[in-house]
């Protein structure tokens, strides 16, 4: 009885050994039915690894996946870093821009604007501008008057008779920023040339100060200042100056408290 059971056990062991050997021989990773697409790709793309055991393959794969993940993470990180760097770069660029940019020029609150036919008032305006600073602008008629004093008399008289508003060529865009406006002109027929009315009617002078100055062949400035005042009643218009000599300008401006 003992001998028989030993034999049976030995047979069983042999059977188990044979079965396990057979199963080991017949196990093929390609036919296992559990291979994923990734594994197939891995084998196709890496034939030298075909002899690896499933454990080895999966270990390799997990290593690959892990390295891919870490590569991705690294690339993500590097993207983040580079985008951070870019952000830093651009912010430092901005800082550079901000610091390298010239400080904005203060907006001028003073305007010297004038009309001149034969150049006398232009010279006075340039002199006055040196004293008061700010912006200098010339009022130019769209349709030029005939050159010279005598040639301009008739068209100017006609304009006055017709109460015309001669158009201005490239007029100043805005006078909003100015608080004090020096307005220069020649006396024509005892008052302002009609183009000065065009100018006064084109903008809002409310709350501003308009300081008249003029040149003439002999007539005073009085009537022209009255005409300006009635055109812009909500504007401070001090008594103007008829300039016969530039030396008179500074004392007049000091008297008005416009310069020191």
**In the complex, least distance from residue 120 CB atom to ligand FMN, rounded to whole angstroms:** 3
Q: Taking CB under 6 A as the rule, which mask of x and - marks residues 9-38 in contact with ligand FMN?
A: ------------------------------
Q: Is 199 in the site for ligand FMN (CB under 6 A)?
A: no
* Region of 33 on the Ramachandran plot (φ > 0 left; ψ -120 to 50 alpha; else beta): left
DSSP, residue by residue, 133-191: -SEEEE-EESSPPPSSHHHHHHHHHHHHHTT--PPEES--S--TT-SEEEEEEE-BTTB
- The answer for residues whose C-beta is within 8 angstroms of residue 50's C-beta and 6 or more apart is 43
Q: Is 149 in the site for ligand FMN (CB under 6 A)?
A: yes
Q: Taking CB under 6 A as the rule, which mask of x and - marks residues 154-183 in contact with ligand FMN?
A: --x---------------------------
Region near ligand FMN per CB under 6 A, out of 19-27, 110-118, 171-179, 229-237: 110-118
**In the complex, least distance from residue 92 CB atom to ligand FMN, rounded to whole angstroms:** 55
Q: Is the dihedral of CA 154, 160, 161, 167 positive or negative?
A: positive
Count other Cβ atoms within 10 Å, centred on residue 148.
10
**In the complex, least distance from residue 226 CB atom to ligand FMN, rounded to whole angstroms:** 15
Helices in the chain by DSSP H: which ranges?
A: 2-26, 37-45, 54-100, 120-132, 149-161, 194-202, 222-231, 249-255
- For ligand FMN (CB under 6 A), the number of binding residues is 21
Within its chain, how far is the Cα of 65 from the centroid?
A: 49
**In the complex, least distance from residue 214 CB atom to ligand FMN, rounded to whole angstroms:** 8
Q: Is 224 in the site for ligand FMN (CB under 6 A)?
A: no
Nearer to ligand FMN, 156 or 181 (CB): 156
**In the complex, least distance from residue 100 CB atom to ligand FMN, rounded to whole angstroms:** 44
Nearer to ligand FMN, 58 or 219 (CB): 219
The residue with tokens 């007029």 is 171
Secondary structure class of 119 (helix, strand, coil): coil
Q: Is 189 in the site for ligand FMN (CB under 6 A)?
A: yes
Q: Is 212 in the site for ligand FMN (CB under 6 A)?
A: no
CA distance 181 to 134: 10
Closest to 248 measured CA to CA, from 167, 225, 256, 98 = 256
Region near ligand FMN per CB under 6 A, out of 53-61, 71-79, 80-88, 213-221: 213-221
- Candidate list 52, 209, 219, 223; residue touching ligand FMN; CB under 6 A: 219
Residues that bind ligand FMN (CB under 6 A): 116-122, 149, 152-153, 156, 186-190, 215-219
């Amino acid at each position: 009885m003992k001998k028989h059971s030993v034999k049976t056990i030995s047979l069983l062991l042999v059977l188990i050994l044979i079965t396990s050997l057979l199963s080991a021989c017949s196990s093929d990773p390609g036919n296992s039915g559990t291979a994923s697409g990734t594994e197939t790709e891995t084998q196709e793309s890496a034939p030298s690894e075909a002899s690896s055991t499933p454990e080895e393959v999966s270990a390799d794969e997990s290593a690959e996946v892990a390295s891919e993940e870490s590569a991705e993470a690294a690339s993500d990180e590097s993207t983040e870093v580079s985008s951070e760097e870019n952000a830093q770069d651009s912010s430092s660029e901005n800082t550079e821009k901000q610091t390298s940019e010239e400080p904005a020029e203060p907006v001028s609150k003073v305007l010297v604007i004038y009309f001149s036919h034969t150049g006398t008032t232009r010279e006075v305006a340039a002199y006055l501008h040196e004293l008061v600073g700010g912006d200098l602008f010339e009022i130019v008629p769209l349709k030029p008057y005939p050159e010279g004093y005598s040639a301009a008399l008739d068209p100017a008289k006609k304009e006055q008779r017709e109460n015309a508003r001669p158009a201005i060529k490239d007029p100043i865009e805005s006078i909003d920023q100015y608080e004090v406006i020096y307005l220069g002109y020649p006396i024509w027929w005892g008052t302002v040339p009609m183009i000065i009315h065009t100018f006064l009617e084109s903008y809002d002078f409310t709350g501003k100060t308009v300081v008249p100055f003029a040149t003439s062949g002999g007539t005073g400035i009085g009537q022209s200042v009255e005409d300006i005042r009635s055109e812009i009643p909500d504007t401070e218009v001090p008594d103007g100056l008829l300039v016969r000599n530039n030396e008179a300008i500074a004392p007049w401006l000091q008297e008005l408290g416009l310069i020191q």
